[in-house]
Amino acid sequence: MAYAMGGPVGMTDVRAKDTPPISVNAQDNMLHIDNSPFRQEYKVLLCWDRGLTKGPDGQNFVFLPGTHKGNRNMRHDKDGNPWSTENDGVFLTDKALSDLLDFQKTVRGNSPTIVEVEYPAQPISVLFSAASLVHHRYRTEYGKPRSCIIAAFHLTAESPGSVINDKALNASRGLPGAVISCRDALTPSAFISLLIHEASRIEAKVGEIFQDNADSPSTSSSMVDIDALALKPDAMARWRETVINSPSASSIKLKRHVRLSTTKTRMGRDDLLIQITDVMVYDKHGLLDLILYHHGHEEVRKPARKLIWSMVPQQITTELAAWIGYGARVPDDVFSFSVADILEPQVLKSRADGLAIRVGECLHVATRGSGHAHAADRIRVWHSFHQLLIDLAESIVRCEKVETYILTNLFVFWTIHHLLPALDSETAMQGVEVGILYLRCYLASVLLVESA
């Protein structure tokens, strides 16, 4: 990986996921390249059949060999600086997929090849260039549940910092500790020294991998021939249908009769909280379309975004309760909605931009007093939410789909909610005001779509 990328590499993210059978057009399920257009990003994906020491047999990783040789279309601002968006790296239409397969044929010189990493014999890992190789998590209604661990790697020169703030790891001189701890200190000479120290173990593992390539390996590690994993024509046709026609998260929500609208004219606060929670649980998995910067500053917002994604229903209900009724931020007597709550995107952007400026000032003051590690960690999270607020505000005026507009409103609301503890009293009041505005806009938009 380091050789391919041209320098020392460090882990920038690591996650574990369970993936049950379902067909849905949500984050990572769609055919895409990762959101790192201006820097290299490699990932290691370890997959297995959930709960078993077997390889994946459903919800599999799929990739298109050769597509890493392509280039993403770029946009330019008025000063000529390049930028891109998340939607610029997804392939959801029949034309987009046909163009992609035509490109693959050009660079490989053979018929379209789709590789599905289904390998029941044993758990399997994949190393790939996530920012350039077209891939996705092939979610279907059939097949077994899959578990995975996925780790992302960047060049240390392009992505300083550390995955975790652990002094024991920072003090470690081993290769694993160096890769996941302080990337700033991992210079080329230090990295090469670590590789030399581990050379005998690396040599032994490489020898083990190439010793046996049979379908039932006699060693714990072996290389798998991807040609054997390529989809046959019938399977490829089913795959194409899934890529193009998988339903959105909001479509599944409506199909399962999860709605905010009701025939009741009034509803108790607890029932209202549960009903809103049920809707948000689906909507938060829709597709945003955030900006991607030429200097890679979108990395800052990723932890905050994942915190919102990972909010479980009970957490949503509990934290939403602070905003609704009983003297909370939105009193009962004003908690009714109409199309008047749906504001022009430019108005929403202006209010969020103004709040983001005030948040930045508050965080500047807070940073000066962050001597303790716990305080520093908390402030890093707040900075992540601050960047997410800035980028959501930028994107609200570019929403091409109603679903994206609704989701952007929802994410702005939860971003403000998580930032409130970082703010002084005056800015917090402004935050509550803007948060209510976005919450009402989100809920009114959901009701409008349900009535269509």
State both tokens at 281: 């649980």
Average pLDDT on 174-199 reads 84
- Whether residue 136 is found in the same domain as residue 279: no
Task: Give me the pLDDT at residue 447, please.
Answer: 92
Does residue 167 fall inside a structural domain? no
The winner for highest mean pLDDT among 114-123, 262-271, 407-416 is 407-416
SS3 17: strand
Does residue 196 fall inside a structural domain? no
Report which secondary-structure segment, H or E, holds 49: strand 42-49
Does residue 174 fall inside a structural domain? no
End-to-end, the C-alpha distance of the chain in Å comes to 50
Does residue 319 fall inside a structural domain? yes
Question: What are the residues whose beta carbons fall under 8 Å from the beta carbon of 425, sequence distance 6 or more?
Answer: none
Does residue 172 fall inside a structural domain? no
* Number of domains observed in the structure of the chain: 2
Average pLDDT on 133-143 reads 90
Does residue 122 fall inside a structural domain? yes
Q: Which tops the pLDDT comparison, 48 or 264?
A: 48
- Whether residue 375 is found in the same domain as residue 398: yes
Question: Does residue 244 carry a pLDDT above 70?
Answer: yes
Q: Which domain holds residue 411?
A: 249-451
State both tokens at 348: 């929403």
Strand partners, 9: 155
Length of the chain: 452
pLDDT band for 368, please (50, 70, 90 cuts). Answer: confident
What is the per-residue pLDDT across 100-137, written as a single tens digit (0 to 9) for each?
999 999 999 888 999 999 999 999 999 999 999 999 99
Q: In whole angstroms, what separates CA 251 from the centre of its chain?
A: 20
- Whether residue 229 is found in the same domain as residue 341: no
How far is the C-alpha of 84 from the C-alpha of 72, rounded, in Å? 9
Domain boundary among 193, 224, 245: 245
- Whether residue 281 is found in the same domain as residue 225: no
Question: Does residue 327 carry a pLDDT above 60?
Answer: no
Residue in the block written with tokens 């078993």: 52
What is the per-residue pLDDT across 388-411, written as a single tens digit (0 to 9) for each?
999 999 999 999 999 999 999 999
- Whether residue 385 is found in the same domain as residue 353: yes
Average pLDDT on 49-62 reads 93
How far is the C-alpha of 292 from the C-alpha of 36, rounded, in Å? 7
- Whether residue 234 is found in the same domain as residue 253: no
SS3 149: strand
- Whether residue 280 is found in the same domain as residue 322: yes
Does residue 205 fall inside a structural domain? no
- Whether residue 150 is found in the same domain as residue 255: no
- Whether residue 304 is found in the same domain as residue 389: yes
- Whether residue 148 is found in the same domain as residue 282: no
Task: Tell me if 5 sits within 8 A of 68, measured CB to CB.
Answer: no
Give the lowest-confidence range in 160-174, 245-259, 422-436: 160-174
- Whether residue 13 is found in the same domain as residue 91: yes
- Whether residue 52 is found in the same domain as residue 40: yes
What is the per-residue pLDDT across 337-348, written as a single tens digit (0 to 9) for each?
778 899 999 999
Does residue 85 fall inside a structural domain? yes
The winner for highest mean pLDDT among 109-113, 166-170, 206-210, 358-362 is 358-362
Give the helix ranges, DSSP H, for 38-197: 94-108, 167-170, 175-180, 188-197
DSSP string over 221-280: -----GGGGBPPHHHHHHHHHHHHHPPBHHHHHHHTT--S--S-S---HHHHHHHHHHHH
Task: Tell me if 138 sits within 8 A of 246, measured CB to CB.
Answer: no
Give the domain CATH number at 41.
Answer: 2.60.120
What pTM was computed for the model? 0.87
Q: Which tops the pLDDT comparison, 141 or 290?
A: 290
